[in-house]
Each structure stands twice: as C-alpha cells, then as structure tokens.
Amino acid sequence: MSDGQVRIVIVGGGTAGWMTAALMSRRLPAADYSVTLVESDEIGIVGVGEATLPHVKIFNDLLGLDEAEFMRATRATFKLGIEFRDWNRPGDKYIHPFGAFGEPWGGLEFQHHWLRAKASGRKVAPLWDYSYAVSAAWANAFDFPDTDPASVRSTYAYAYHFDAGLYAEFLRRWTTARGVTRVEGRVVEIGRDGASGNLQSITLQSGVRIDGDLFVDCTGFRSLLLAGQFGAEWEDWTHWLPCDRALAAPCANSGDFSPYTRSTARPAGWQWRIPLQHRVGNGYVFSSQFASEERARETLLANLEGEAQAEPRLLRFAPGRRVQTWVGNCAAIGLASGFLEPLESTSIFLIQAAAIDLVDLMPTPGMVKSGIDPALPAEFNRLSAMQYERIRDFLILHYFANSRVGEPFWDYLRQMEIPDSLAHKLSLFRSRASLSLYQYGLFARDSWLAVLVGQGIAPQGYDRTADTFDLTMVGDRLDAFADRIASNVASMPSHAAFIANYCLATP
C-alpha cells in the first residue's frame, strides 16, 4: 500500500504492552506498520497473571517461541487446572481441569450417563476420576498430551505458571529484536487533534515527543489514555464480585511442586498459591467491606507454607470493565480495559484475545488518513464485552454457589442477586444437568461442569435419552474409562522430574 505507515504507539510495558507488541511484530507487515512501545522504569507493573490458561500456549506458538527457552527464562512450571479448596464448604476440594470429563457416548454429554448410572444404583466414581487432567494433577504428574485422539492422554491441555515480570522481559527482548522500538520515559503530555479529538502524540519527561496514528493503552488501572483522555465509561461489578484488594507475598517452595494453581477460600475472600520453579507466589484476594488490610495481612501470613520472602504488597482494584475499549484512535488492552479478579487466571487470556482482535481489525494506512471506519471499533467493543461478561458470570458462580453458612462474606454472596444470564444457566443445570453453552468466548462445557459440580449443585434430573442406553454397558464404560486414566497416570513422570529434564532454569 502506498499510504505510508501506520504509526502504532503502545503506552505501557507490562504483560499487556509486551504481548501486544510481540503479536504486532509477528502479524503486522513492517512495510505498513511501525510499532513503538513507551515504558517507564519508574512505574512498577502489576504483574498479575502468574497463572495462565492453555490459550497462552497457542499465543506463544503463534509467535514461534521456543517453549523450553521461554519456560527457563520465566521460571515456569506446568499447570493442568485450578484446585479449589474449601470453596463449597470447609474440607471440600475439587479441580477445574484443562481437559474433558469422560467422553460423550451416543451423542450425549458424559454427565448425563454418569448421573443416570448413579441414579440407577450403579456404583460410580466421583466426577473427578473421569478427568485425566484432574487425576494427573492430584498425582503431581506431568507429561505432554498425546496427539492421537484415540488415546485418553489426548483429553487434556496445559498452561503455565510463570513470573509475569520475567515473561514481559522475555517478550521485550524477543520483540525489540524484531523491529519494535522501545522508548523509556514517563508520559507528561498528551496531544490531541482539535477537530477529530483523536490522539496525536505523547510527550515524555525528557521532552521527546512521539507522534502516532493509533494508540494502545496498556497503562494498567490508570487507563491513562482511554479513561484519562476519552473518559470511557466504567461499568462497575463490585456488587457481584466484592473482592477489591489483594495482598501478595512470595515464599520459598516447600517441595510441593504441584502442576496446578490452588485457590483456598478464606473468611473474606480466597488465597492463591502458584508454584514457580524458584518460589511460590501467594496472595490473599479479599473484600475491604469484610476484612481490614491488617486482618487480611495476618490471614495471609498465617497461611504460608514457607517464610515470606518479602513484606506483603497491597493491590487495590475494582471489578468491572470499560463499556467501550476502543474509542477514536485509542484501544485499551489489559487492566486499562477492565479488571476481573485472578480467580480463574483470565488476565493474560483477556490481553491475548484483545491483542488478536486488534491486529485483525487494525486500520489500514489509508484509513488512518481518511478516518477509521467505525465498524472496526464497534466489532472490537462487541467482542470485548462478550469476553468480559462471560468470564464475569463464571466467576460469580464460584462465589454464589457456596454452603459456607455463618460467614458474613459468604452469606452475602450466597444471597445476592446474580445476573439473569447466570441464574438461567444455574436453573437449567439444577433441573436436568444440561449446560446452556455458547460457541464464542471463554469457558466451555467441561469448565462449567467442573465448577457447578464442585460447588455442590446437584441436578434433579438428567437428559432422559440417557435411559435408552444399556445400563450395564454404560456402567462398564464408566469403569473402563476411569481405569484407563488411572493406569496411564501411574506411568507418568512427576511434574518436578519432567521440569528438571525439560526446562529447569539455571539459578
């Protein structure tokens, strides 16, 4: 194209900024697009999202990263799911796995066969025994999934735990070697076009001015451009997700090298445990309405498996999203676009999804001269809203469906009004174990099934076509499936041994 280059300016260099820059360097032709990232060493990064979802592997593969190299550089471990402890009631635990429960037989979802066998008096195992990922996780084992779809070892995926600060650094090195310009400095002035209101330039403390055609706001909660300049409207979700603080403190690894994230319910929130190669990340996500910071600090420090390596660091946040995440010539990615607590490790996914959408919908050089077609931001905003709302409902489910009677925080959650979209899913599952599914957006069938069952929702019925299958055959298949999982998991290497062989970081 002969319209010159689109000058893209990414403001903010945390995980969001560098993931966006990395994708752009890979997917935007250099002849038409230049990418400059501005970051300030003075401004810390939040570094949320040390736990990820399997999608991040797709993202890394899209960039063409070497997995072992990336894992060494970020002190990463593998992740097969999230364990929820004491969430339904104290003493309970379950895993939301990255993988399937059983398999559909005769075109009918697995849970109906399982429930029907149970209702017919046949002895069946708990749901968790029919998930390869759950069994492997609880056995502290890891291996790569099999690519042969006939193998039970193909029924799971994996993600990583990594140091998000190191990931951003890794991507910074990788990306700046591929043509992205990095500029250090703090933004002190923002220039806008009087007529269109579009952003034109940013000026740094050093006096350097950077002109741009399209700006990506990766400045975190501050949302320096989208909120700061365009006043993008905030939709608040605190009434559904009352946690608004986190205290984070790493500690030494006690040797429990679990291939999963752990989330343990606490009186006013929950505590995360993320095992990395060199340390364990811990944090207490809590609601300031239900616990003071001092009280939360005590709770966290009393529940660490090793000595804290630093004084707990406080993060404040508000759950919600910007109603529009792309306004004019400014799109926000990461915390600048919205925030959902890290309960389901969705922060990095949201960055990745927005970065991919933005690259697909990126204005052409011609458009930045004649005006960006409003259909491009309209579609970006529609997709962003869809992602946020679907994840929001899934998070609320964990809190709402609890049996922790007598604790004010949990009592409030159990009694709150929930979004219609979630209430509807819950009543359908309660009635017949069916899942009201969607094709686009995060969290599919097995995720919903895991959390619904894990949070103690007991269906009153099941799909009646399950009764048309031979009961003995179904029972035998259930047993055989659980046996296949158990015998395969028994022959897997331990997670620690696998990492030692594959990607151990040199200290």
- By the criterion CB under 8 A, which residues form the site for other proteins? 27-29, 31-33, 359-362, 364, 366-367, 373-376, 378-379, 382-383, 424, 427-428, 430-434, 436, 438-440, 460-465, 467-468
Q: How far is the CB of 485 from other proteins (least distance, A)?
A: 28
Q: How far is the CB of 467 from other proteins (least distance, A)?
A: 4
The single residue of 57, 79, 118, 123 carrying the catalytic annotation is 79
How many CB atoms lie under 10 A from the CB of residue 394? 22
Of 164, 167, 179, the closest CA to residue 21 belongs to 179
> What's the start-to-end Cα distance of the chain, in Å?
48
369 tagged catalytic: no
**What is the token pair recorded at 466?**
């399950």
Q: In angstroms, rounded to a whole number, what is the distance separating the alpha carbons of residues 100 and 444?
A: 10
Collapsing DSSP to helix, strand or coil, 235 comes out as strand
Q: b vs e for 479-505, b when ≥16 Cβ sit within 10 Å of the residue's Cβ?
A: eebbeebeebbeebeebbebbeeebeb
Q: Which is nearer to other proteins, 469 or 502 (CB)?
A: 469
Regarding beta strands 214-217 and 199-204, do their DSSP bridges make them parallel or antiparallel, or are they unpaired?
Answer: unpaired
**What number of residues does the chain have?**
507
**What is the token pair recorded at 420?**
């219609």
Q: How far is the CB of 378 from other proteins (least distance, A)?
A: 6
Q: In angstroms, rounded to a whole number, what is the distance separating the alpha carbons of residues 178 and 172?
A: 10
Q: Which is nearer to other proteins, 245 or 425 (CB)?
A: 425
Segment 201-209 long-range contacts (CB within 8 Å, at least 24 positions apart): 202/9, 202/11, 202/38, 204/38, 208/183
Q: Which is nearer to other proteins, 33 or 290 (CB)?
A: 33
Q: Which is nearer to other proteins, 42 or 420 (CB)?
A: 420
Dihedral of CA atoms 231, 235, 239, 244 in degrees, nearest 10, equals -50
Q: Which is nearer to other proteins, 247 or 391 (CB)?
A: 391
Burial of 316: CB neighbours in 10 Å, binned 0-12, 13-18, 19+: exposed
Q: Which is nearer to other proteins, 20 or 277 (CB)?
A: 20
Q: In angstroms, rounded to a whole number, what is the distance separating the alpha carbons of residues 113 and 107?
A: 11
Q: Which is nearer to other proteins, 27 or 477 (CB)?
A: 27
Question: Which residues, at least 6 apart from 129, have a Cβ–Cβ distance to it below 8 Å?
Answer: 135, 482, 485, 486
Q: DSSP string spanning 424-484?
A: HHHHHHHHHS-----SSSS--HHHHHHHHHHTT---S---GGGGGS-HHHHHHHHHHHHHH
Q: Which is nearer to other proteins, 23 or 76 (CB)?
A: 23
How many CB atoms lie under 10 A from the CB of residue 205? 12
Q: How far is the CB of 14 from other proteins (least distance, A)?
A: 24
Q: In angstroms, rounded to a whole number, what is the distance separating the alpha carbons of residues 318 and 338?
A: 9
Q: How far is the CB of 375 from other proteins (least distance, A)?
A: 3
Q: How far is the CB of 472 from other proteins (least distance, A)?
A: 16
Q: Which is nearer to other proteins, 359 or 505 (CB)?
A: 359
**Cross-strand partners of 261:** 82
Active-site residue set: 79
